[in-house]
Amino acid sequence: MTKMARATGAISAVTLALLASGPVVLPRPAMAAEGSAADRLLQRLEALETRVRLLEARNAELEAAALKTAAPVSTSGASSASSVLSVASSTTPAVAVAVSSPAPVAVAAAQSDFTIKPRAMVHMDFAAFHARAGGYDFNNGTDLRRGRFGLEGTLYTAFKWRVDAEFVKKSTKLLDAYLQYAVSPRLSVTIGQHKAPFGLEGNSSDAINTFMERGMAVNAFSAVGAERRVGVSLAYTTPHLMAAFGVFGSGEDVTRNATTPDEGYGVNGRVVVVPVQDKTTTLQLGVAGYHATNFAADSVSVGDRPGVRVDDGNLIEAKSITHVRDADYVGAEAIAIHGPFSVQGEYGRLMLSRDAGLANLDFDGFYVFGSWVLTGEQRAVKNGVVDRLKPLAKFDPRAGKWGAVELAARYDQLDLTDTGLSPLTRKAVTWTGAVNWYLNPYARILFNYIRFKGTNSPLVASPLVDGATAKGDAFATRLQFDF
């Protein structure tokens, strides 16, 4: 490159910088003669600046004319020329992905109207059993307790939706598939397959419950007339009151039965009050119930496992109870929290009405447990269910942070004894000690030691006789994460 070319390039660079910074004012050299090279350069720069201003004004005129003649754009999903997908998470802002089209779109409006968020939950268990009585050969090993994957989001702000499925023991089934509309900030209506109002553990997320499995009575009685079902429900929520009511059919996997060709149905309700709630103390009380009828083959089975499902054998059960016309459930619940300490419990009673002159049946069960978060975090409830525990120091060994640690102990009982069904005593009891290590709000490791006993239990190898008892211990652990 010649010296002249380099000089010309330098002058051009200086000129552009001066134009960008505003009007150019250069002092005339004190000793320069009129018509010198400096004067000529200054005149050229002033002319160039004037031309740039004229071009900017013309450009503004053209933009204004284009806006006046542009066709109006609809932001609705049916008539919009393009669409925008907002991918949001609980910790990151929405990311808009625009699909190109020949016409312009109101991108900002579309981003706020439609969102989509992936969901997942994985629970991986391991358990080893020690049989103390009954002679049953337990299965020691691993189990993918649940693997859930799905999507959720919003439609035009007031609508929420969710669709997800679960993989458990070689089978896949639909869990949630619903649309929810916010009638007001306090009142919402949900239509589709979703959790029916039932109880504290039953309506809290499986990612949040303190022990590896819910109480035996919660599992056994919810399977008869709660859990996830297709229906419509209303929920009214305030900081100190939550009430939910719904009408439901069966789950999405219902099939026609020759004995009872019509689908079962029922009504569910739950009311929760929070008389005390401040920064350190919470007291929540609730009641729940359901009425269910038209069971497949007019038959139900009631039972549950001993606090872990690696073996999957029921500790206690009343199997294939026939001629069941209706099932009614009533339950009570309570949770008290003070700083890192909490106490929680539920009681439930299931009543089965039967035809053909057979006796009606009553079963009941309950659990109670205490919890202490050693690292000082506090359990919480929100909208009537248990909320996620958030460690004060998320797991990061390089920064000397190790998450949160919780100790818990539970007594759990399910009594299926009723002389109208059998003279045999059918009662199961478990004691569970738990250590929960919260790495962060969405990942934790659970350790459960379960000591169990079942009178006239299926976990007895010999033929069932009155007084036959299954006893044992389970050492179980779980790695779980969700988002």
Question: 3-state DSSP call for residue 355?
Answer: coil
On the question of pLDDT at 267 being above 50, the answer is: yes
Average the pLDDT over 464-469 and give the result: 68
CB 237 within 8 A of CB 385: no
pLDDT computed for residue 47 by the predictor: 79
pLDDT computed for residue 111 by the predictor: 55
On the question of pLDDT at 3 being above 70, the answer is: no
Q: Which three-class secondary structure string do you get for 252-272?
A: CCCCCCCCCCCCCEEEEEEEE
Q: What angle do CA 222, 223, 229 make, to 5 degrees?
A: 90
**Residue 467: inside a domain, yes or no?**
yes
Q: 363: exposed, middle or buried (C-beta count within 10 Å: 0-12, 13-18, 19+)?
A: buried
Q: What contacts 65, CB < 8 A, 6 or more positions away?
A: none
**Residue 141: inside a domain, yes or no?**
yes
Q: Alpha-carbon dihedral of residues 128, 132, 138, 141, nearest 10 degrees?
A: 10
Which pLDDT band holds residue 251 (cuts at 50, 70, 90)?
Answer: confident
**Residue 461: inside a domain, yes or no?**
yes
On the question of pLDDT at 11 being above 60, the answer is: no
Counting the structural domains of the chain, the total is 1
**Residue 315: inside a domain, yes or no?**
yes
Average the pLDDT over 428-454 and give the result: 98
**Residue 4: inside a domain, yes or no?**
no
Find residue 289's DSSP bridge partners. 269, 330
CB 471 within 8 A of CB 461: no
**Residue 24: inside a domain, yes or no?**
no
Give the Cα separation of 355 and 361 in Å (integer).
12
**Residue 151: inside a domain, yes or no?**
yes
Which pLDDT band holds residue 27 (cuts at 50, 70, 90)?
Answer: very low
Which pLDDT band holds residue 445 (cuts at 50, 70, 90)?
Answer: very high
What pLDDT, in 10s, does the model give residues 148-187?
Answer: 999 999 999 899 999 999 998 878 899 999 999 999 999 9
Mean pLDDT of the chain: 85
Structural domain that includes position 236: 123-482
Nearest to 29 by CA among 13, 11, 46, 41: 41
On the question of pLDDT at 33 being above 70, the answer is: no
The CATH number linked to 386 is 2.40.160.10
Single-letter amino acid code for the residue at 89: S
Distances (CA, A) of 61 to 20, 51, 54, 103: 21, 16, 11, 22
Give the Cα separation of 279 and 393 in Å (integer).
19
pLDDT computed for residue 357 by the predictor: 93
**Residue 143: inside a domain, yes or no?**
yes
Which pLDDT band holds residue 96 (cuts at 50, 70, 90)?
Answer: very low
